[in-house]
Amino acid sequence: MSSVTVRVPAKVNVQLSVGPLRDDGFHDLVNVFHAVSVFDEVVAKESETVSVRVEGESADQVPVDDGNLAIQAARALAKHAGRTYGVELVIRKAIPVAGGMAGGSADAAGTLVACNELWGLGLPLEDLMEIAADLGSDVPFSLLGGTAVGTGRGEQLTALPVRGAFHWVFAVADGGLSTAKVYAECDRLRAAAGTRVAWPQVSEALLRALKDGDARALGAELTNDLQEPALALRGSLARTLEAGREHGALGAIVSGSGPTCAFLAADEEHARELAEALKGAGVCRTAVPAHGPVAGASIV
């Protein structure tokens, strides 16, 4: 096999609760991930060396050196296998770059699946998940897909039952936000307010809404502890969130560390209408309807 193509989804966090800062510099999280139908494609081709080329959405903003998480994933997989392998990676971007939807993590997950197939390693998902956890907190979920609660740094995953499909609109902003800077701002705001940070707990009401397929109940339970710091760093997002609510969104939230904003719609038609309304309101660069949950990284 000389080429393998993998499709891998973006995510939205329907709950992101950030606990106290740990000694290792990370936070304990309760992170309810939901994979949605905005996809990157990762193509892995035979090569003597490891390289990456990026095409599509904001391609010029993605590093193509060792800072690229997909290159790190390929090298980590080769090291796990105890061999020296090369691969030419082509990443076709549709997930916003630095947009709070785990695009880099998705590309790393897609690389693990593609190279596992290209190199004929035959490693099970459990092995790929272990490698993924060392690459970043969101990478294991990009492999798993569906809907899942993540604990620890977010990498310890338990799949969740979901009835039917939920319909979303993602309002994509100009430029990105650094995840590290948003977490740092979260810590700064908490320290300035003297906030005593509680141990994060998963919302039982949110789990019921997912299990019942109740979009209205889910919209009321969307929470993200990184929303306040994201708004502090990018004040214009408040107007984006308000515009979505004004046009009937059942829930409005900053996606992950932002600046993409996520809006829960009543159904597919409402999602299309809401996307057009947000584009017309001039509060985002573009607005994309999507649905979830969808499968994780998959060979196509």
**Residue whose C-alpha is closest to residue 90's, from 115, 120, 117, 116:** 115
Query: Residue 231 and residue 224: Cα distance in Å, rounded?
Result: 12
Give me the catalytic one of 11, 40, 93, 107: 11
Place of tokens 């997950």: 109
Residues whose CB is less than 8 angstroms from the CB of residue 194 and which lie 6 or more positions away in sequence, other chains included: none
- The answer to whether the beta carbons of residues 159 and 165 sit under 8 Å apart is no
Query: Residue 53 and residue 28: Cα distance in Å, rounded?
Result: 34
DSSP strand pairing (261-265 vs 50-56): unpaired
45 is catalytic: no
* Sequence ranges of the binding site for ATP: 96-106
**Residue whose C-alpha is closest to residue 293's, from 160, 203, 202:** 160
* Sequence ranges of the binding site: 96-106
Q: Cα torsion at 223, 34, 103, 119 (round to 10°)?
A: 150
212 is catalytic: no
- The answer to whether the beta carbons of residues 58 and 96 sit under 8 Å apart is yes
Residues whose CB is less than 8 angstroms from the CB of residue 252 and which lie 6 or more positions away in sequence, other chains included: 222, 241, 242, 244, 245, 261, 262, 263, 264
Give me the catalytic one of 40, 93, 107, 138: 138
Residues carrying an active site annotation: 11, 138
